[in-house]
């Protein structure tokens, strides 16, 4: 089973039900979420004590009947009342009211009679059939209390009066007039002798005797700080008739003996919020609740256990003689807590005892809280192999558990300089942190964490600029690429060469030199043989300049130049020279052909030959063909793309209509046309309307 548990010392507190959700979901989304939870193992193994133990928005108050068989709760929105039957483990019924419930009390031993104080100054009496009677009070009510001995119902309101409604006579009695002009926050009745206590806004508590119908005493609650204004928000009585407890708006709880005006115990809740409820559990324990936390204290004031939901608490109810608590809160689901040390589970959920016993038998993470997990390699480094098999090393999976204190001692013995190394690392970190604040020159990536892939950072800097490179390097998503050595780019690897065939290691700034073809190599040899004389003279003239330049260069720069880079640069220059020489040679040959064509054209005009075609005529013919192609391709633009694709744009033109050929007519045809009409078509290719195509022939 899946139970969320917390520990306060040796006391375990189990959250049996209640989700940490403070807002409602739409119905369709709630159904969808439940369908998605069908494969959740924790959800399938959950414990659902009471079905529909929730409200649509929040719950205000919850109480258990005197017979311990039912629980009644009020909540919103819409304002409604829920009744849960423990024997059926579910909701018995729900009722909607006109106004939101402020407080309620159960009159009978079961749920059949109850009184509800609404926030519209009305009091509703509910029975089995629903609303039995509704009455109103002059001012807004805050708390209810019922005295079963004289059948008086006391209502504390925002005024200086305690309204009394006698349910036996069915009428309002003379109210109790308080000394304070300010309102009353809470009212409670002692179950033993019927003493009435009223918590007031001025920080006092008034006690009224219901038999004498007069004030018996007034208690001034001491302030924890001088000149601090606070209110008494709640009160409670102990079952022995002498114990009294009250809570204040500044988060303090006071315990009294009715025979003394001095508190026997004062406890600070710690959050400074008003105490919403305080009650006695057993003879030696009590619980105080504010909106964040419910704390259970021992009689001497020490903390026994605590219950802390993630939503604000509105009310807390304890099932007597058990360890179960119900909690009304600002969440959708009401919470259920179970403390086995405080008492057994109720009879209707006695299976909880067996579940909690099984959970306590399983080892928890707190058993290994002071231990450290080490592997076999760590054992070898610490040189404690002789401890394997002893109680010092507890074997677990692929390693061992070792006490933290022993680990520190063994580590110091194996590495005496470990503290010194740690100190050096800390000093280095602080120095690096100070270096980050120094002013640096622009043009470089400003990041001290740049440890690997500096070439990649420089490449981004050249391509996108300093701002873009700085943003990429300092981005958290790419931090490990420039810090972790595992992400170092290996330019010598086969994968890198396959992905980057153009670039080569050591030559990232220049383009790859293309290999020479056989024709280019032969042209190179021929050009070199012709220009040997020129190159020798040029070398002599440039030798002086190169010597002067070499003297100005640094010796360090010469060492940095790679031999492979020099060879490739030399080949590139030679290839450029060859292309220039080939272009000059082609232009020269074209000029010679033109001159020859002009000379042969003049000779051909003097002595023409039948079958000979001069070179000049061939050139004119080629020029004519090219001119026609240009006219055809006029308005067309061809764009070539890097992947071998091409895009052709052109201006569409209408096709020229060919002139129709007229049919030649004889004189006899013209004469017959004048007499009998037209019998033949004037133009060739015209469609004939007659079915018989040979009619006019």
Q: How many CB atoms lie within 10 A of CB 639?
A: 9
Q: Is the pLDDT of residue 259 over 80?
A: yes
User: Binning pLDDT at 50, 70 and 90, where does residue 512 land?
Assistant: very low
- Tell me the mean pLDDT in the region 59-84: 94
Please, what sign has the CA dihedral across residues 642, 646, 647, 650?
A: positive
Q: Is the pLDDT of residue 422 over 90?
A: no
Q: Tell me what pLDDT residue 534 has.
A: 42
- Tell me the mean pLDDT in the region 343-356: 86
Compute CA 96 distance to the chain's CA centroid, rounded to the nearest angstrom. Answer: 39
Taking the complete model, does pTM exceed 0.85, yes or no?
no
Q: Is the pLDDT of residue 23 over 60?
A: no
Q: Tell me what pLDDT residue 480 has.
A: 79
Task: Determine what percent of the chain is predicted with pLDDT higher than 90.
Answer: 31
Q: What is the pLDDT of residues 183-238, one digit of tens each?
A: 999 999 999 999 999 999 999 999 999 888 899 999 999 886 666 788 999 999 99
Q: How many CB atoms lie within 10 A of CB 15?
A: 20
Q: How many CB atoms lie within 10 A of CB 151?
A: 14
Q: E strands within 341-496?
A: 371-375, 394-396, 399-403
By the 8 A CB rule, do 257 and 301 touch?
Answer: no
User: Binning pLDDT at 50, 70 and 90, where does residue 475 land?
Assistant: confident
- Tell me the mean pLDDT in the region 650-660: 67
Q: What is the pLDDT of residues 295-348, one digit of tens each?
A: 999 988 899 999 988 899 999 999 998 999 999 999 888 999 999 888 899 999
Q: Tell me what pLDDT residue 135 has.
A: 94
Radius of gyration of the chain from Cα atoms?
52
The rounded mean pLDDT for the chain is: 78
By the 8 A CB rule, do 75 and 82 touch?
Answer: yes
- Sequence spans of domains, the chain: 4-362, 365-436, 448-498
Q: Tell me what pLDDT residue 626 has.
A: 76
Q: Is the pLDDT of residue 505 over 70?
A: no
By the 8 A CB rule, do 488 and 453 touch?
Answer: yes
Q: Tell me what pLDDT residue 317 has.
A: 94
**Residue that wins the pLDDT comparison between 587 and 553:** 587
Phi, psi (rounded to 5 degrees) for 72: -110, 135
CATH class of 4-362: mainly beta
Structure-token pair, residue 458: 């420089």
**Residue that wins the pLDDT comparison between 581 and 65:** 65
Sheet holding 324-329, edge to edge: 4-8, 11-17, 335-338, 324-329, 313-318
Among 294-298, 468-472, 645-649, the range scoring the smallest mean pLDDT is 645-649
Name the maximum alpha-carbon separation found in the chain: 160
Q: E strands within 112-249?
A: 114-118, 122-127, 130-136, 141-147, 152-157, 161-166, 171-177, 184-189, 195-200, 204-209, 214-220, 232-237, 243-248
User: Would you give the DSSP letter of residue 83?
Assistant: E
Residue corresponding to tokens 């917390």: 6
CA distance 433 to 379: 35
């Amino acid at each position: 089973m899946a139970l969320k548990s917390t520990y306060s010392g040796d006391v375990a507190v189990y959250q049996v039900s209640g989700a940490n959700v403070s807002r409602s979901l739409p119905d369709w989304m709630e159904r969808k979420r439940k369908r998605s939870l069908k494969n959740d193992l924790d959800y399938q193994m959950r414990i659902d004590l009471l079905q529909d133990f929730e409200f649509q928005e929040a719950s205000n108050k919850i109480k258990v009947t005197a017979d311990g068989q039912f629980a009644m709760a009020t909540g919103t929105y819409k304002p409604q009342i829920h009744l849960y039957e423990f024997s059926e483990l579910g909701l018995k019924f729900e009722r909607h009211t006109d106004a939101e419930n402020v407080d309620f009390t159960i009159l009978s031993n079961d749920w059949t009679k109850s009184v509800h104080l609404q926030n519209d100054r009305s009091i509703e009496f509910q029975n089995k059939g629903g609303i039995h009677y509704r009455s109103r009070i002059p001012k807004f009510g805050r708390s209810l209390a019922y005295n079963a001995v004289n059948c008086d119902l006391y209502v504390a309101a925002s005024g200086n009066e305690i309204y009394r409604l006698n349910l036996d006579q069915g009428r309002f009695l003379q109210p109790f007039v308080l000394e304070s002009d300010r309102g009353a926050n809470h009212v409670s009745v002692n179950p033993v002798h019927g003493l009435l206590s009223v918590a007031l806004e001025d920080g006092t508590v008034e006690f009224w005797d219901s038999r004498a119908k007069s004030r018996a005493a007034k208690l001034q609650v001491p302030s924890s700080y001088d000149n601090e204004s606070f209110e008494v928000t709640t009160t409670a009585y102990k079952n022995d008739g002498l114990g009294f407890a009250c809570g204040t708006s500044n988060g303090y709880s006071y315990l009294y003996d009715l025979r003394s005006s001095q508190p026997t115990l004062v406890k600070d809740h710690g959050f400074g919020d008003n105490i919403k409820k305080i009650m006695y559990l057993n003879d030696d324990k009590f619980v105080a609740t504010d909106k964040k936390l419910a704390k259970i204290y021992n009689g001497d004031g020490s903390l026994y256990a605590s219950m802390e939901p993630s939503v604000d608490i509105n009310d807390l109810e304890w099932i007597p003689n058990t360890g179960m608590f119900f909690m009304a809160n600002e969440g959708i689901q009401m919470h259920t807590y179970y403390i086995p040390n405080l008492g057994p589970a109720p009879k209707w959920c006695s299976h909880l005892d067996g579940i909690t016993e099984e959970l306590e038998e399983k080892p928890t993470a707190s058993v290994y809280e002071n231990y450290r997990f080490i592997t076999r390699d760590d054992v070898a480094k610490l040189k404690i192999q002789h401890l394997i098999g002893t109680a010092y090393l507890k074997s677990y999976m692929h390693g061992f558990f070792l006490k933290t204190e022993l680990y520190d001692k063994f580590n110091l013995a194996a590495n005496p300089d470990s503290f010194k190394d740690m100190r050096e690392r800390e000093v280095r970190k602080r120095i690096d942190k100070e270096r980050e604040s120094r002013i640096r020159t622009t043009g470089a990536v400003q990041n001290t964490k740049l440890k690997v892939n500096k070439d990649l950072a420089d490449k981004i800097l050249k391509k996108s600029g300093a701002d873009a490179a700085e943003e990429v390097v300092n981005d958290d998503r790419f931090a490990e690429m420039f810090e972790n050595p595992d992400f170092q780019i290996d330019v010598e690897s086969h994968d890198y060469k396959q992905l980057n065939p153009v670039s080569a290691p050591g030559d990232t700034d220049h383009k790859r030199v293309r290999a020479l073809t056989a024709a280019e190599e032969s042209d190179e040899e021929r050009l070199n043989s012709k220009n040997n004389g020129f190159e020798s003279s040029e070398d002599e003239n440039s030798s002086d300049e190169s010597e002067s330049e070499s003297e100005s260069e640094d010796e360090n720069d010469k060492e940095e130049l790679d031999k492979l880079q020099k060879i490739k640069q030399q080949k590139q220059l030679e290839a450029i020279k060859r292309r220039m020489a080939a272009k000059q040679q082609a232009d020269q040959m074209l000029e010679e052909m033109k001159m020859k064509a002009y000379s042969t054209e003049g000779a051909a005009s003097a002595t023409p030959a039948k079958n000979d075609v001069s070179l000049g005529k061939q050139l004119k013919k080629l020029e004519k063909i090219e001119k026609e192609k240009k006219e055809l391709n006029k308005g067309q633009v061809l764009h070539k793309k890097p992947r071998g694709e091409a895009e052709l744009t052109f201006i569409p033109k209408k096709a020229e209509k060919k002139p129709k050929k007229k049919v030649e007519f004889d004189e006899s045809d013209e004469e017959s046309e004048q007499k009998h009409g037209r019998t033949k078509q004037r133009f060739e290719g015209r469609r004939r309307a007659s079915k018989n195509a040979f009619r006019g022939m």
